[in-house]
Structure 1
Amino acid sequence: MTDKVKGPASYFPAIEQKYGQPIAHWQAIIRSHLPAKHMDLVARLKTDHGMGHGHANALVAHVLAEDKG
């Protein structure tokens, strides 16, 4: 039985399909701008890369949670 992916990672297949880059690409972009506040990172993805708010927010939340520990 396969567990359904929950939380921010549930957006990852749609993000890869819509923006044509692997999640690692977006994670590297986010990490290159650390330390920055969550919403500043979301705004950067939206402005610089044309990403929608939900996708940008999910990526940033996942990276910050992953890096936190």
Structure 2
Amino acid sequence: MTDDKTKGPASYFPSIEKKYGKPIAEWKALVRAARPAKHMELVALLNEQHGMGHGHANAIVAHTLAEDGA
């Protein structure tokens, strides 16, 4: 039997979409548009401008930066 459970930052994505009402692709686009800001600056942007909690913001930023090889 295999373990298909999502791990890491992506494990937060369903609850982020449900709580904040936007698909992850939109949040990632916001992060990418704010680059070359640093990781914690991007987390603060999501927190302060969009009311996102630290853990959710950090998950989106970490996953986006990892995808982009940053």
User: Shift in Å at residue 2 of structure 1?
Assistant: 5.9
Who is 1:49 aligned against?
50
Q: Which residue of 1 aligns with 2:22?
A: 21
Identical aligned residues as a percent? 68
C-alpha distance in structure 1 between counterparts of 2:57 and 2:37, whole Å: 14
Cα deviation, residue 55, structure 1: 0.1
User: 4+ residue stretches of structure 1 with deviation over 4 A?
Assistant: none
Task: Give the counterpart letter for 1:18 in structure 2.
Answer: K
For normalisation by structure 1, the TM-score amounts to: 0.96
Question: Which residue in the other structure is 2:9 paired with?
Answer: 8
Distance 2:3 2:16 in 1: 21
User: Unaligned 5+ residue runs, structure 1?
Assistant: none
TM-score for the superposition, normalised by structure 2: 0.94
Structure 2 stretches of 5 or more lacking a match? none
Partner residue, 1:62: 63
- Counterpart-to-counterpart distance in 2, 1:49 and 1:2: 34
How far apart, CA to CA, are the structure 2 residues paired with 1:63 and 1:35?
12
| Distance (Å, rounded) in 2 between the aligned partners of 1:47 and 1:29 | 13
- Give 1:30 deviation, angstroms: 0.2
